[in-house]
């Protein structure tokens, strides 16, 4: 039985559950088998109104497990927030119930979090699609439409050796570490997002505070991608909400890729090149000599964002 004198664990693992009991059992078994010795931890399982026998199975658990039961299906963000509110650990590990963990997944993430110190935002890792073993995630970037998308090009072994931790715009919430103090400072997930974009929104709030999000390239897990029921039902509404809140950041964060793409097309037909000064600004920005994006890049990104907002206006008003 837990008492007031029980020392707080180093790590609190938080996993929301909604049905998919067999996936949950697989994930929990892999977690127990891959937890490094000597890391004090608790595992908080938050059931979000499951009806497939998950609650009966949860009643059989003991040891490091703590269970939170929601009266109904509140959604991923709210379920995770409830688990985090109950957590006692210094570091929170947010894990989906459709992961398969292996030895060595945790330490690279912990080391990255500790190395960044007070600058640390959220730390993610490399995730392989469990069905294909292809890379599904090694960070999140902002594409030419201003939308977040997974980076799926994993650096080679030499590059990973030299730069094992890479700064990223955002990381997926499927497998992420964040200090409990930073989580509370950020305010947890915005529950206005329903099963999508909560993680990107949280990462952008970290960036807005000057924190650094990163991927620990030596940490690798398997992920049964988007296997939770209802995972994709609100994608359009969630992304629109993200745009309305963060359009200035999204335009800025997508501007470098926009510049590379635009410059490459201009090279094919030099008659369309902008004035020489703007061309130099673009070149300096692409090579990171210049910090701020050129005017044309911001104009291009904002035009793309306006186009998406207009599309949603027609789609979601019906």
What is the predicted pLDDT for the residue at 1? Answer: 39
- Tell me the pTM: 0.92
Give yes or no for a contact between 34 and 28, defined as CB atoms under 8 angstroms apart: no
Mode of pairing for the β-strands spanning 11-17 and 41-47: parallel
What is the predicted pLDDT for the residue at 63? Answer: 87
Question: Cα separation of 259 and 104, whole Å?
Answer: 38
Which residues, in sequence order, are bridge partners of residue 135? Answer: 128
Domain ranges of the chain: 11-223, 235-316
Q: Which of 131, 139, 126, 46 is nearest to 86 (CA)?
A: 46
What is the predicted pLDDT for the residue at 4? Answer: 46
For 158, residues 6+ apart whose C-beta sits below 8 A from its C-beta are none
Q: Which of 199, 209, 40, 161 is nearest to 110 (CA)?
A: 40
What is the predicted pLDDT for the residue at 110? Answer: 98
What is the predicted pLDDT for the residue at 315? Answer: 78
Question: Cα separation of 111 and 203, whole Å?
Answer: 19
CATH class of 11-223: alpha beta
Per-residue pLDDT of the chain (318 residues; tens, 9 = 90+): 344 457 899 999 999 999 999 999 999 999 999 999 999 999 999 999 999 999 999 999 998 999 999 999 999 999 999 999 999 999 999 999 999 999 999 999 999 999 999 999 999 999 999 999 999 999 999 999 999 999 999 888 888 889 999 999 999 999 999 999 999 999 999 999 999 999 999 999 999 999 999 999 999 999 998 766 655 678 999 999 999 999 999 999 999 999 988 877 776 766 666 677 777 788 888 888 888 898 899 999 999 999 999 999 877 765
What is the predicted pLDDT for the residue at 115? Answer: 96
Which residues, in sequence order, are bridge partners of residue 295? Answer: none
Q: Which of 32, 31, 40 is nearest to 10 (CA)?
A: 40
Question: Cα separation of 86 and 10, whole Å?
Answer: 14
What is the predicted pLDDT for the residue at 207? Answer: 98
What is the predicted pLDDT for the residue at 270? Answer: 63
What is the predicted pLDDT for the residue at 274? Answer: 64
Question: Cα separation of 44 and 25, whole Å?
Answer: 14
């Amino acid at each position: 039985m837990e008492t007031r004198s029980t020392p707080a664990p180093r790590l609190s693992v938080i996993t929301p559950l909604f049905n998919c009991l067999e996936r949950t059992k697989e994930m929990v078994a892999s977690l127990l088998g891959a937890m490094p010795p000597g890391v004090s931890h608790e595992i908080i399982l938050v059931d979000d109104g499951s009806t497939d026998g998950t609650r009966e199975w949860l009643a059989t658990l003991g040891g490091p497990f703590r269970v939170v039961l929601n009266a109904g299906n509140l959604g991923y963000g709210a379920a995770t927030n409830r688990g985090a509110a109950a957590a006692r650990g210094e570091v929170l590990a947010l894990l989906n119930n459709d992961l398969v963990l292996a030895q060595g997944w945790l330490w690279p993430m912990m080391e990255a979090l500790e190395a960044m110190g007070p600058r640390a935002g959220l730390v993610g890792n490399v995730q392989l699609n469990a069905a294909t073993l292809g890379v599904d995630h090694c960070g999140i970037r902002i594409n030419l439409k201003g939308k977040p998308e997974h980076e799926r090009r994993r650096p080679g072994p030499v590059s990973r050796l030299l730069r094992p931790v890479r700064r990223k715009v955002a990381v997926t919430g499927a497998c992420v570490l964040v200090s409990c103090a930073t989580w509370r400072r950020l305010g947890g997930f915005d529950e206005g997002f329903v099963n999508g974009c909560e993680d990107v929104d949280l990462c952008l709030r970290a960036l807005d505070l000057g924190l650094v999000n990163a991927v620990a390239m030596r940490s690798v897990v398997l992920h049964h991608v988007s296997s939770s029921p209802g995972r994709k039902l609100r994608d359009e509404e969630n992304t629109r909400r993200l745009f309305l809140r963060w359009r200035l950041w999204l335009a800025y964060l997508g501007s470098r890729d926009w510049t590379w793409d635009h410059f490459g097309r201009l090279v094919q037909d030099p008659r369309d090149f902008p004035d020489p000064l703007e061309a130099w600004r673009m070149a300096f920005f692409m090579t990171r000599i210049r910090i701020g994006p050129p005017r044309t890049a911001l104009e291009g990104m904002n035009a793309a964002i306006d186009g998406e907002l207009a599309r949603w206006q027609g789609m979601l008003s019906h």
